[in-house]
Amino acid sequence: MGHVPVTQTSQSPTATDALSESAFLLAARGEPVPHTPVWFMRQAGRSLPEYRAIREGTTMLESCMRPDLVVEITLQPVRRYGVDAAIFFSDIVLPLKAVGVDLEIKPGVGPVVATPVRSAADLGPVRPVTPADVSYVTDSVKQLVSQLGGTPLIGFAGAPFTVASYLVEGGPSKDYAKTKAMMHGDPALWHALADRLADVAIAYLSVQIEAGASAIQLFDSWAGALSPRDYAEFVQPHSAKVFAALESYGVPRLHFGVNTGELLGLMSAAGADVVGVDWRVPLDEAVRRITADGSSPKPVQGNLDPALLFAGWSAIEPQLDRILAEGKAAPGHIFNLGHGVPPNTDPEVLLQVVQAVHAKSTRA
Ligand SMILES: Cc1c2[nH]c(c1CCC(=O)O)Cc1[nH]c(c(CCC(=O)O)c1C)Cc1[nH]c(c(CCC(=O)O)c1C)Cc1[nH]c(c(C)c1CCC(=O)O)C2
């Protein structure tokens, strides 16, 4: 797809400069930063009382389709924590719901699909969104970009493997047995499904970028269930298609999965500009793995173990120092957790983390 680079026509020149020079975008480009930027995966959500209040009586997927709620929920953690980026409030299964795939998000469980994909006939409903299917996404992103000013908005989508796992298993899974059985037992069906899901991600991310998102993150949360060999054969080409299709927009492309220590090099090579790292591999070691094939180092994101948020400040603080020191091995470091904010996290602890990372990393 040939794209014209996005220009933020709705923004004043000053706001556009502030955005482009924001700590998050500087770090994502591997340029010097005034301080290490911080945001948290799942920063909007159940850990915030103001989120629980506004979500009352509305299902997760309904909320994603209402710009008033999307805008407010996306801004809540920016206001409360002063994070360096906002992440769009949506879900990885929203673009499937928007084209009529019969699914819901069950509270405390996750996405549940009515008719799991078992044969080529089941692929029919799985098609990319058009902008008209998700006009509420365009509306929400535009409102957010104008309200956020110099704070970047991260758009996101689920990567083909992670979204396929919900479609094939019918819901959350521990072992991904049906997904792996399809890959190896019916590779033609697997590749047809993953290729469609690449197109789904491309279409959904393009809508967000064209509406003004400053960066995108492709979540392959569950790819860590795969061996490097299976990842390379069955997943990497499809994720690579997504990154390649978005390249001409010129926005940073982040890539993240849990338990992906053995896959960091392959996920980087898929075309990520910034590689997300969970807590299992230190950031300096992550840089070694990303560059092991001879490629240049690139910015990394991570990697505080979310469990540490419950350990008390005297346990957290030395970890921040360690992570900031190890992050210096990369040309850019975006501070984050190694996975999402747990629902029972004390918001005060997250505020303390943001302020401490900023204070410790501010250039004299
Ligand atoms: C695997 C995955 C999903 N969704 C997502 C992923 C990839 C990120 C990851 O690895 O955590 C991505 C996602 N989902 C949500 C966001 C919003 C932005 C943010 O990070 O703050 C993002 C980036 C909102 C949400 N998505 C969901 C919630 C909880 C809904 C609620 O409040 O009831 C939120 C805030 C639901 C959801 N949706 C999904 C799960 C596993 C769940 C949790 C189920 C539960 O424990 O209730 C699928």
- pLDDT tens digits for range 2-24: 444 444 455 566 777 899 999 99
Task: Indicate whether residue 218 lines ligand 1 (CB < 6 A).
Answer: no
- Mean pLDDT to the nearest integer, 170-186: 98
pLDDT, averaged across the chain: 95
- Mean pLDDT to the nearest integer, 238-256: 98
pLDDT of residue 8: 46
pLDDT of residue 16: 79
**Using an 8 Å Cβ cutoff, are 76 and 68 in contact?**
no
Q: Which two tokens stand for residue 125?
A: 């409903």
More confident residue, 14 or 236: 236
pLDDT tens by residue, 118-166:
999 999 999 999 999 999 999 999 999 999 999 999 999 999 999 999 9
Provide the edge-to-edge strand list for the sheet that holds 86-87.
86-87, 153-158, 215-219, 253-256, 274-276, 300-304, 333-337
Provide DSSP, 277-309.
--SSS-HHHHHHHHHTTSPPP--EEEEE-GGGG
- Which residue type occupies 287? V
Provide DSSP, 125-159.
T--PPPGGGGHHHHHHHHHHHHHHTTS-EEEEEE-
Residues of the chain above pLDDT 90, percent: 95
Task: Indicate whether residue 276 lines ligand 1 (CB < 6 A).
Answer: no
301 closest CA partner among 25, 18, 17, 90? 25
pLDDT tens by residue, 321-339:
999 999 999 999 999 999 9
pLDDT of residue 363: 76
**Using an 8 Å Cβ cutoff, are 349 and 316 in contact?**
yes
pLDDT of residue 4: 46
pTM of the model: 0.95
For ligand 1, atom 21, the nearest C-alpha belongs to 42
Backbone φ and ψ for 334, nearest 5 degrees, come out as -105, 120
- Mean pLDDT to the nearest integer, 276-287: 98
Give the CA diameter of the chain. 61
pLDDT of residue 100: 94
Dihedral, CA of residue 66, residue 67, residue 70 and residue 72, to nearest 10: -120
CA atoms of 11 and 270, how far apart (whole Å): 32
- Look up the ipTM and state it: 0.94
For ligand 1, atom 36, the nearest C-alpha belongs to 110
CA atoms of 276 and 273, how far apart (whole Å): 10
Task: Specify whether 91 is catalytic.
Answer: yes
CA atoms of 248 and 271, how far apart (whole Å): 13
**Using an 8 Å Cβ cutoff, are 150 and 19 in contact?**
yes
255 is in an annotated binding site: no
- Mean pLDDT to the nearest integer, 106-124: 96
Ligand 1 atom showing the smallest separation from residue 107 Cα: 47
For ligand 1, atom 13, the nearest C-alpha belongs to 91
Task: Specify whether 288 is catalytic.
Answer: no
pLDDT tens by residue, 39-70:
999 999 999 999 999 999 999 999 999 999 99
